[in-house]
Amino acid sequence: MNWSILHLGFVYGDADGHIGQMPHIAQIMRLHPANRLSMIHHRDIATFIKMGLDGILDGRIVNAVDDAPMTIFELCALAGQPMEPEATPLTHPWYGVLDGSLALSLGFLPAMATAWQAARENAL
CATH number at residue 10: 3.40.50.720
Residues 25-78: pLDDT tens digits? 999 999 999 999 999 999 999 999 999 999 999 999 999 999 999 999 999 999
Q: For the chain, what is the domain count?
A: 1
Which band of pLDDT confidence, cut at 50, 70 and 90, is reported for residue 1?
Answer: low
124 neighbors 78 (Cβ within 8 angstroms) = yes
User: What predicted TM-score, i.e. pTM, was given to this entire model?
Assistant: 0.88
Query: Which is nearest to 40 in space by CA: 79, 8, 73, 75?
Result: 8
Task: Tell me which residue range forms the domain holding 45.
Answer: 5-86+93-120
